[in-house]
Structure 1
Amino acid sequence: MPTTILLTSFQTWLPDQKSNASDDLLLKLQAENDPFPDQAIFLTFLRQLPVDVFPASDLAIAQIEHLQPDVVICCGMAESRSQLTVEAGATPRYLVAQVYWFIYYIVLQQIFSFQGLSYCLSALLGSKTNFKTHFLKTAVDLEDLVEGLTETEMSYDAGKFVCEGLYYQVLSYLRDYAPTTGCIFVHVPVLTPENISPILTDFRLILSRLAIWVTIQRQNQRIDTTTAA
């Protein structure tokens, strides 16, 4: 059975940006005829999501519901980083950067809740305890995922803004509605002629290892089902 992987990227968010590195990386991968000749991997792309947490999350979750992928890989740009960074998880602390949209949440967002209000109030009061309590961790073993990769490392800082917001919303959805689906967030540095080849090599290896992870999860599920029977 093939492994289905959904990959997402963002649009630019500043007028002087010609492109978003996350989208540049997916575009390179998408242009390759057969990046995984020895594995049954089906890639599907949701590129150039808006740089806005809730519209981006709605689009990503709608595609997840439609496609029902085995793995979701959300990608975003990190201009200050020099390597691919795979995020361990996410919290709702992205709301700190969006406090000035507080009224927008209350008036316009259908998914606004009292829980969301508590997050915003924590941001306004400067409390970090609530965010740590609501940390959502990826189910993927990231240490195994990045072991031996030359251009990739783990990260515990998903960015506190739209990147972390999307990651948190997707992880939250998967926890509640598709717990067997894996999800990671990958931050991509600005791509240059010098770094594009090794970064793309690492990224392919990440996808290949995730396909192996999916195979192991399926085997474990079959064992659990057999044992329960």
Structure 2
Amino acid sequence: MPTTILLTSFQTWLPDQKSNASDDLLLKLQAENDPFPDQALSLTFLRQLPVDVFPASDLAIAKIKHLQPDVVICCGMAESRSRLTVEAGATPRYVVAQFYWFIYYIVLQKIFRFQGLSYFLSALLGNKTNVETHFLNTSVDLEELLEGLTETEMSYDAGKFVCEGLYYQVLSYLRDYAPTTGCIFVHVPVLTTENISTIMTDFRLILSRLAVWATIQRQNQIRDITTAA
């Protein structure tokens, strides 16, 4: 049974940007011929999400519902960073960035969730301590995932903007509806001829290790069901 991995990337958000590094990375991976010959991996790409939390989250979650992947890897660009960074988790503090999201939440959301509103108000009113208590961690052991990688490190700052917003929304959905599905967010530096080779090597290793992680999760789930029966 192949491991299904959904990978997402963003569009550009500034006029002078020719491309988004997260999309460049996925485009290069997508162009490779069988990058994982020794593993049963099925990769699905959801590229160039809009740089807007709720439309991007809606598209990603709709794809998750349809595909039911074993793992979700959301990718975004971090121009100021020089290495791949995998985010440990996310908070709802991104809502501070654009006040109109509050109007969207109240008026346009079909399902009104008071818990989500409380997260928003905490962030909007600047109650940092309260917001930080809503930190959602990835279920993936990042220390084990990143062990020995040369161009990748762990991060506890997902950016407080659209990247963190998407990550938080996806983690929240998976926590409530698909707790066995793993999810990480990878920030990608600007890709150059000097760094592309080592970054791609690390990224392939991350995917390969996540496939092993997902296999173990399935085995544990089957064992728990068998034991309960």
SS at match of 1:126: coil
Deviation at 1:98, TM superposition (A): 1.9
Whole-Å separation in 2 of the counterparts to 1:148 and 1:126: 38
Contact 1:99 1:120 in 2 (8 A): no
Contact 2:82 2:189 in 1 (8 A): yes
Whole-Å separation in 1 of the counterparts to 2:112 and 2:192: 40
Unaligned runs of 5+ in 1: none
Q: Give 4+ residue runs of structure 1 displaced > 4 Å after superposition.
A: none
Paired position in structure 1 for 2:51: 51
Whole-Å separation in 2 of the counterparts to 1:100 and 1:130: 22
Paired position in structure 1 for 2:73: 73
Task: Report the number of matched residues.
Answer: 229
Query: Identity across aligned pairs (percent)?
Result: 89
Deviation at 1:120, TM superposition (A): 3.3
Deviation at 1:160, TM superposition (A): 0.5
Whole-Å separation in 1 of the counterparts to 2:112 and 2:52: 15
What do you get for the CA RMSD once the two structures are aligned?
1.3
Unaligned runs of 5+ in 2: none
Q: Equivalent residues in 2 for 1:55-134 (5 A)?
A: 55-99=55-99, 101-134=101-134
Contact 2:92 2:123 in 1 (8 A): no
Deviation at 1:96, TM superposition (A): 1.4
Tell me the alpha carbon deviations over residues 189-215 of structure 1, each in whole angstroms, 9 at most, x when there is no partner. 000010001000000000000000011
SS at match of 2:117: helix
- More deviation in 11-20 or 101-110? 101-110
Deviation at 1:131, TM superposition (A): 1.4
TM-score by length of 2: 0.96
Paired position in structure 2 for 1:26: 26
TM-score by length of 1: 0.96
